[in-house]
Structure 1
């Protein structure tokens, strides 16, 4: 089911003149808000799996998930601060994230360890798609800081998905 559009509020403290039009800043902030929601949803799922993983791969997955959720937690700040630099309010509630994210919530009952890995592969690939979809907007607006942020996020999510996929090989 398609998510409802969520209005992204702009700050009104003063006029922003950074060489990017208000319309482009709005579009970029909306895309970054979707990226932030995907990132935060994946963070919650990864942290959940860190707590609830069981089985023979417990120690390695527990440690791997901790590294991954820590990276996602740190990324949330970078994404939110870019939204703020563009003159918009960063979303920060579960309700907003639920409307903006392209990811499903974590299962209520913890899945098997390998199913956790599959879910996280799909999550990282989805976040990569969200980041990639924003590139044309940032490029059109000559928004290099956002393009740089997107490049960094893509690198992390694509590499993490690859590493997780490697655990699923027979």
Structure 2
């Protein structure tokens, strides 16, 4: 039977993942708002689609923490403290640099999701394990779409 430490570690990893999702959501929306150039329309729409997907998962991840008896992120500061992704405050950036940054961040997100899955296994939380597989597939799909634009 997993102990309290395993559950605390799972909640901590879920909160880190939640912070990463919020950070990637905001970066993706920033790029959506500021993309320019010959691929404006397609990238504007792709970034919005991806941002919507990212934001949609934040509540699900936060609720996993609460279902596991933990507290979740409470502020912008708590997101900034927990994220492993780099923020990007720029409004002027080459469109393909945006694509590359989002690709790399989605691949980093895959690693964070896999760490959550490992923590879920340790805590005996098969529901989070199963969700992590879905989240991994979604992040890999986002990264694939972005990678193909860079080819």
TM-score (norm 1): 0.85
> Contact 2:34–2:91 (CA<8 Å) still a contact in 1?
no
The CA deviation string for residues 33-56 of structure 1, in whole angstroms up to 9 with x for no partner, is: 000000100000001111110001
For the aligned residues, what is the CA RMSD? 1.3
Structure 2 equivalent of residue 6 of structure 1: none
Contact 2:22–2:55 (Cα < 8 Å) also in 1: yes
Q: Equivalents in 2 of 1:71, 1:95: separation in Å?
A: 23
Residue in 1 that maps onto 2:15: 33
1:113 alignment partner in structure 2: 95
Instruction: Give structure 1 regions of 4+ aligned residues with deviation exceeding 3 angstroms.
Output: none
How many residues align structurally? 151
Q: CA deviation at 1:20?
A: 5.1
Local SS of the residue matching 1:105? coil
Question: Does the aligned pair in 2 maintain the 1:20–1:143 contact within 8 Å?
Answer: no
2:102–2:143 CA contact under 8 A, matched in 1: yes
Corresponding residue for residue 68 of structure 1: 50
Give the match for residue 78 of structure 2: 96
Q: Looking at CA atoms only, which structure, 1 or 2, has the larger radius of gyration?
A: 1
Q: Which runs of 5+ in 2 are unaligned?
A: none
Provide the TM-score with structure 2 as the length reference: 0.95
The reply on whether 1:53 has 2:35 as its aligned counterpart is yes
Higher share of residues assigned helix = 2
Match status 1:141 vs 2:140: no
